[in-house]
Structure 1
């Protein structure tokens, strides 16, 4: 009996996204290869590399080498933070401020350069596995979905809520999907100013269904509702706030589109805890192993 097409939706969650690698490792060992993958924010990084042909083992190898410098420039971040603080102070006192204030603490240039080096400037037309990456147009609120250019997607139609775009560089799409407001400056693609796709749907289960998945497996690496460790600065506050906002939108959409949800147990992993990447991968493996009977039943029925 022919297996139904299945897709996986990789959610956002900062460094917790490394848990996706653990899930993919288990799926590969069990012989389950998704027909399509959708990713948001951190999930878009893993999804893009995986769909370009990277094995889970190769993903793990590169993840264990990641450092903060792969994603942002500390010097420019400090300068931008100072500019923002000065602008806020002068605005408070109603004084003129003639220097352009950045829209985020850091640009996505470091992330884009790193991705282009790993992806070799591939576009969505160059992929072996169907890929969708989500972002949000900050001016219209629409979900912008970058998809592979295959003819089988001709049934996709833009709506007032979702716009599908084909053919862009994958690195640009990923930078847009990862542009967390406040952290990264929005990514401009064409006429659109794009930010983190998690603002609308942190786990892109609807999207992976729209591009053809008959069975949808969601990997949720977001906020689990447990008390967060002590918040000491504005970055931790922003991170926790975004996690909470995203978590409130997740359950309804998962119920509508996901056939199975894998939730790795990830405790107190902050966006800068690069030393916890091995822990996240391990937790992803554990969660996936526990779900293998359900996955087998779902995909082989």
Structure 2
């Protein structure tokens, strides 16, 4: 009997256009297409994470409830120079629904892509708190403050991998459905996979990199 090909879903960044991901995910569900692997960048990480966690209806409800006044209410301004907005209020909204969710406990493989501040390395957040991974992935420089995860300052993954098809391929996807919300762009970066999204202190990713390079 023929085995079904492993399907990957790559959800790209695109700011407010990212709400279109909700419709894509609903259409895939109606068609009976369930991806085995979901990788998201920026708003794609938010939509993909909510989908894999079974919270897509809540995300749709949140998107439909946004008014100019409510959007302004999420703007927790920051004046220390690291970003115009801290993003903690928006992160708190996600926390209300996803606080206990750990990426490694999800039913499908999920990766949120982020960029390491200072080096430009591409970071794959594949473990730890889902909300922390989302927050790091959408932290657009100059707008949102960078997010510290395991001693590394992370920011928007769209800077290095705007449509994470490569992540899906690396995780074993044979067919990849990619959702591009912008013109054709391709990411570049040095990859540090299997990074854990936690609120704890630094961990030795250098040890991980050395271990992988010695294989």
Q: Report the Cα offset of residue 29 of structure 1.
A: 1.2
Unaligned 5+ segments in structure 2 are: 189-215
Using structure 2 for the length normalisation, give the TM-score.
Answer: 0.79
What is the root-mean-square deviation of aligned Cα atoms in Å? 2.1
SS in 1 for 2:33: coil
Corresponding residue of 2:107: 128
* TM-score, length basis structure 1: 0.58
**Structure 1 residues 104 and 213: CA distance shift in structure 2, 3 A:** same
Corresponding position of 2:45: 44
Inter-CA distance 67–207: structure 2 relative to 1 (3 Å threshold): farther
2:114·2:123 contact (CA, 8 Å) conserved in 1? yes
Q: How many residues align?
A: 186
More helix by proportion, 1 or 2? Answer: 1
Is residue 174 from structure 1 mapped to residue 134 from structure 2 by the alignment? Answer: yes
Q: Give distance in 1, aligned partners of 2:171 and 2:185.
A: 25
State the shift of 1:220 in Å: 0.5
Deviations 1:100-136 (A, max 9, x none): x321001021122111111132111221121010001
How far apart are 1:54 and its partner, in Å?
A: 3.0
The aligned residue for residue 221 of structure 1 is 181
Instruction: Please report how far the alpha carbon of residue 248 of structure 1 lies from its aligned counterpart in structure 2 after TM superposition.
Output: 4.1
Corresponding position: 1:196 with 2:156: yes
Q: Deviations over 1:153-192 (max 9, x none)?
A: xxxxxxxxxxxxx2x2111111100000010000011210
Q: 2:86 aligns with which of 77, 93, 107?
A: 107
C-alpha deviation, 1:19, in angstroms: 0.8
- Shift, 1:71, TM fit: 8.4
More strand by share: 2
TM alignment of 1:262-301, pairs within 5 A: none
Native 8 Å contact 1:42 1:178 kept in 2: yes
The match for 1:35 is: 36
Match of 1:211? 171
